Structure 1
Amino acid sequence: MVSNKKRRTIFVKMALTNIVILLLSLFFVGYISHKKSKNAMENNLEITSLQILKQADKGFSEYLNKMTQELTILNKNVDIKDLEDPAQDYKKTQQYVQYALKSIKESLSGIDNVYYSAEHGAVIIDSEITDESKLSFRDKDWYKKAKENTDKFIYSEPYVDAVTGNNVLTISKAVTGYNGEFIGVVGIDINLSEIETYIHDVSLLDYGYIVIADNNGKIVINNEKNKTFGENLSGFEFWDTLKNSNQEKTKWMNNGELTFVLQSIDEKTGWRIVGFVEEKEITEHLSSIRNTIFIAVAVFFTLGIIASLILTKTITEQIKKINIGVRKIATGNLRERIKVSSKDEIQELAENLNTALDSISGLLKEIDSTSEEMYDSASGIASMSEETHAAVSEVANAINEVSNGSTDQATAISNVTNTVDGLSNRIDDVDKNINNILNLSEVTDKLSDDGLKVLNLLIEKSVVTKQNTQESSSNVKEMTDSIKNINQISDVISGITEQTNLLALNASIEAARAGELGKGFAVVAEEIRKLAEESKDSTDKIKSIIKEVNQKSIRFVDSMEETVNILNEQDESINNTKNIFIEIAESIEPLVEAIRYISNLTDKMNNDKENVKKEIDNISVISQDVASVSEEVTASAEEVTATMDELTEYADKLDGIAENLKEKLNKFEL
């Protein structure tokens, strides 16, 4: 049940992931499409609006061209020139000129007045003829500019005509006589309502409109759709951009709403034909495009979900096969192999799992074989531990014997010391007696008897001392033999510890091969190795101590041999002394000479006595050292015994681990 839940979770996660990715992708595509469509429509709007503005400018220019063409005709009219010829009938010529002006007015719409203002004389209007006393245009700007620029058409600023009250534009042109002299100005007053109607009729898309402004921003031709700017554009920020850079287009935010501002500059008047197009011109079209994109996204999203679910189901089915195979493997069936035919990474995963199973199966077979060897090794370690324990026990017993022998030896040496002290006293007595003999020759016989008694006692003590010394030497030799035995046993222990260390190392290697299952065995093997190292260190320490004891024993034997030699010499001296006393008893005459000889021998004995005493003291110290070393060796032997007990315990544990490992391996079908 848990496995199915997990599989469904993977299915849901993959499906949701694919859906989210698909949704984000479609959203991104839709957003980019909408953005590009908007940019394209804005660009198209600007291009179309500029084309409309240029077309309106072209129509405006053509309208003005018609007016200038008429002014050109008037400029070349001979009747106007004849007004300056006195030979002509002036009034009749005026009528001809007036007729020409009237004809032009009637031929074109939008003209309020057509007139000619002479430099010196009357003013002829299409509707009347008057003199300069009643009406004069010579003070008008358009008149002055025309006079100054005889070869150009002059366009005035828009103004309100004083007669008609209409907003008009005056186009004027200088007139020259037959000789090229300036004689007056012809002009046409254009009613701007005609141009305003034309501008109103120009459709700037659906919601846009056009106005005409002069260079100062004053609106010359307004539009009824203009609800924002009033009569002047100069107060708005876009105007500086249009005026200073002469750009054809710019954008302006009007209360949060984007407005496209475009212009076309008329070459004749310098006026600016300005178009205003609001953003809603494209938002309505964008709305339909956005709806189309939304429908397309919805359709592709639905198709994507279906494809994603199918793909996800296919993948999860393959994962299910792998899961079933892994579940069988988890029960210990390592013969199971996973079969997937998706021809993708999932199939590669299944093949890798099968390869891993082959490796694990082979590894477990090797572990099974190794566990048998480990079991045998553990048994061997346990057996060797028991043998080592027995050997260590023998070492302990031998050391106890050495310790006991050292104690006896110390006691014997103490007796020898006492005997030597007694001998020293006797030698002092002999010396005194000799002096008495020298001083009291009359008591020679008695002293001779006493001397013989002392010599007999000295002989007895010498015999005892010699026996004790020989016994001490024999004990030391026995101790030396025991030390050799201990050294041999230590070598056996060293060999055992080295073999144990080697076995522990082999066990660690086998544990490393066993991988995770061999970690516990590796720990035990490491502990065994450490114990073997400690045993080896203890054995080396014992051997060092034994070596030191052996050296001291050798020195002790040498000292004892020297003591025996001294005792032999002493025996010889005593015998000589005895003979002398006999000779003294037999003959008193050589008494003095013999006593002197004995005195010399006594001095020598006194010196030998001191040497013997020193050697005995040395033997006593050595005996104490031997006893101390024996105690240390005994303690080390006890530590080795405890270590071997632990080694035996770990060997038993290793045996149990090997048995447990074998039982666990039997659970797998290899």
Structure 2
Amino acid sequence: MRNKSKVERERKVKAKKLIWEKKKEKTPKIKLSKQEKKERKLQQKQYRKENKKVKQIMEIGDKIRFGIRQKLVTGFMIPVLCIVVLGVFSYLKASEGLISNYEQATDNTVNMATKYMEFAFNSVDSVALQYVSNSDITYYIRGLAKTTSQARLSYVMEVSNDLMVRASLDPFIEEIHIITPSKVPLFTSKMKILDGFNEEFIETEEGKVLKSKSNQAYWIGEHPLVDSKLELSPDKYALSVIHNLASGQGSIVTDISMKGIVNFLSDLDLGKGSTVGIITGDGREILIEKDDNNEAKTIVTNDKNYDGKDFRFSQKDFFQDSLKKEEASGSEYVVYNSQDYLYLYSKIGNTGITLCSMVPKANIMKQANDIKNITLIIVVIACIIAVTIGMLMSGGISNSLKKINYSLKQISEGDLTVQVFVKRKDELATLGHGITEMLNNVRALIQKVANVSSLVSDSSEHVVDASRTIEVASTNISDAIEEIGRGIAGQADDSQNCLLEMDALSQKITTVNENIIEIEKVTDETKGLISQGITTMEELTKQSEATSGITKYVVDNVIALENKSHAIGKIIQVINGIADQTNLLSLNASIEAARAGEMGRGFAVVADEIRKLAEESLEASNEIKKVIQEISQQTVDTVSTAKKAENIVNMQTQIVDETIKTFRDMNTGVEKLISNLTTIGQNMKNMDSAREGTLSAVESISAISEETLAASTSVDETVNVQSDAVKALDEAAKTLNENAKDLNEAINSFRI
């Protein structure tokens, strides 16, 4: 727009110079020499050349290929491209951070679940161990106590009732069974009266493995023989732990509740489409699958009844690879059904049971994809707005310029009745108003020239009388015009320099204004990203609080277990005291039997058996004491680890709160920046308005200076030739009459 205005100014200056040169050419010269005629022909040739240049300048507007509309649209698209780059960068950074945080949170959840299940399994194992070395049960199985049918039945009911109470108090215990040898009634929390079948049980596959483990626990998924004998349903229990009795003549089978395991796995919310479950050493799997509606589905399979329809971890290579690894836990990305999943595994202590989970990568990428979609929508909207605004603005400017160009063509053809009205409130309206004012002045000038031309003929008669006076005055005028010409030339140069400086200032102001608008857009986007960051950090705070609650719950349960272990220790001390007393009594009985002689020999055998039982009880109680001490030490370590985890979670929560505060401070700073940018933008608008007025004034001064310079030059040349013209003033008067007629004809060609 500024370049076109500059071209228009140069064109008007050239046109005015051509008009003055044309007037000079029409100045009558008397008795031209050959040299003067030659110079006049050169001037006419130069005039035609300059006229051709003027026409070329007038046709520049029709040859423009890259117009205002294309420039405005291109200018608006540059900030949009910046928004695209910012959106891509934000998406990449956000997706990287979200994926890392999600993977870490999921891994922590699986590890915490593993520790909780290990604690629960140890608790179940400790309950079973209480019956492993029970001396009453050992005496009962060996037939050394409860020898009558009534006493046996009563003892079986008593122990079975105790087993039922233990199973009902622990949410993870479904049933407890003590399998005795054949012809000896067994104990079961099912409260059934049934002879034992331990000889048959140890011949089964699980029985053989248990026999090889001696005093160690054996965790399995199913026990078909026990199920058939006691009429148990495998759907009621998830897995079982089996121990050999201390006497070696029986086994204890403790079933883990299927309901407890399923409820616990269902509470592990890893997202829609995820799978979590446990896999026993003998191939039984209890899985929880969640569909797209987050509805849970329980799947229980083993190696024998697997039909190939449902998903099984044990059938996948990545699960088999994780079993071979020495690490207790780990994670990796795997492909299942052409989709990417985050696979996590964690081995539960020494039970041979593995906790596994698969989380769709789509869940991890959900928030990052939301950022990408929002950025894409904003970019599309910004493109539409930019193109629309550019088209509207360029359309308005283009239409106004076409209207002005059409009016100027009519004016160039001599129609001075044209009125240039531009319905705008910007520089184009000022241009239209300036053209209209110029036409009014030109019409007034031509009207005056027409009035003067009628007087030229009358005035020519008085020229002769005034010629002498003109000859004297012309010399003085010539000197004065030279001084005026030099001053006006300097003023014209200064006006042109000022005009160029104002044009450069206008470009800088416009550039600064565009940069401020772009900065406002960027700060708005930054404010939105800060708000989204605050929301994400608040969600992380909620997750940390939930983790802290789980940690506190684990600590409380471990402390309760420690208290129970101390209580068991006190009972063991009592048993040790009883064993010592029994040993002492057996010693006294032996002494008394020795005194009795032959009559006390049978009593001595009984006393010796009592002493042996007392010693075995003492040894068993000492073993139990060692186990309790180990449990207590593990409990202390677990409490310490859990408290450290709780402290870490609290520190994490504090750091998240500080991060949220930092985001809010950033948000406040951005709001202040936006306010300051608004103030700067308003000041730039005020500067632009002042600049427009100054530019218009400088243009007027420059145009007037150039007109004055051209006029002074013409007057000086006229004065120089005036001396010679005075001598032939009579002939000039005649020529003046002819020129006056020509002037009338030329004026009549204009429509005013």
Structure 1 length as normaliser, TM-score? 0.40
State the structure with bigger RCO (CA 8 A, min sep 6), 1 or 2: 2
